[in-house]
Amino acid sequence: MNNIFEAPFVKEMCDTTANMYRLGWDERNGGNVSYRLDAAMVESYLDPTMVQRTLPLQFDASYLAGQYFIVTATGKYFKNVKDCPQNNMGIIRICPDGRSYDILWGFADGSRPTSELPTHLMSHIERLKADPKHRVVMHCHPLNILSMTFVHELDDKSFTKTLWQMCTECIVVFPEGIGVLPWMVCGGNAIGEATAEKIRDHRIVLWAAHGIFGTGETMDEAFGLIETVEKAAQVYMTIGQMPVKQSITDAQLQKLCDAFGIVPRKGYLDV
């Protein structure tokens, strides 16, 4: 059996969470990441019959039955993941009935997965239906996109168009736009269901006065989506008190789409 601490998915989680903390996206115990893993790779590092604990799920996750995930732990600080991964994250497997999950590794101090696990799993279900290659759900609290939710209308179209206009690459990176939710209590099924509904056809969902969810086929893709949205929000918050003399027009945004062979969300551009 290979050394789990040398597993590429463990190292990737350590590096990514450290980078998110460094950027100020995940203060204290804020934020969480889940990463769907290839079963054969996991089983080269862990004995799948060695279940440490089995914990309940409060919704039906049977669509993910048998799937493995590496997930950050509840109440833990991203700054500590790299030095002590076994206490700050762990590997779980969804049980056949979809109503519970096995802990196979990690959470060594008696902890458990993030309180946002329902939202993560519901989001994985919807993104897998849209893209069978999907693997990552990433939640964090970047300063500028969080600030923007206090001063901008909270609807998908207007929020998306503002971000598209802040930076040329935005419409290329997320042509489907972003989903926006009003403030909700976090950590339960209700916000998970609302997020999953938005995430069916958006890879990015914004929680007002809270943070952002980014998804992707790889850790880099999910991270890059959030990074791009946060840069656009930073431009918006920087110029907000200044008279704007010019911006990227809808016609110019359409030219970008034509040049890169992408289709923007229907009805968002007035061209």
- Does the structure show a pLDDT above 90 at 244? no
Of 115, 137, 154, the last residue of a domain is 115
Residues 131 and 186 in one domain: yes
* Domain count within the chain: 2
Nearest to 70 by CA among 131, 6, 10: 10
Predicted local confidence at residue 128, as pLDDT: 97
Residues 21 and 107 in one domain: yes
Residues 111 and 100 in one domain: yes
pLDDT, tens digit, 9 for 90 and up, residues 103-159: 999 999 999 999 999 999 999 999 999 999 999 999 999 999 999 999 999 999 999
Predicted local confidence at residue 210, as pLDDT: 96
Residues 135 and 237 in one domain: yes
Residues 151 and 26 in one domain: no
Of 96, 115, 134, the last residue of a domain is 115
Q: Assign residue 184 the CATH number of its domain.
A: 3.40.225.10
CA–CA separation, 206 vs 210, rounded Å? 8
What tokens were used for 265? 């969300």
- What is the DSSP pairing of strand 204-207 with strand 179-181? parallel
Q: Domain span at residue 50?
A: 1-115
Residues 120 and 104 in one domain: no
Residues 174 and 198 in one domain: yes
Q: Is 153 a catalytic residue?
A: no
Choosing from 27, 116, 176, 221, the catalytic residue is 116
Q: Full-prediction pTM beyond 0.75? A: yes
Strands (DSSP E) contained in the chain are 32-37, 53-56, 68-72, 89-94, 100-106, 136-140, 179-181, 204-207, 211-216
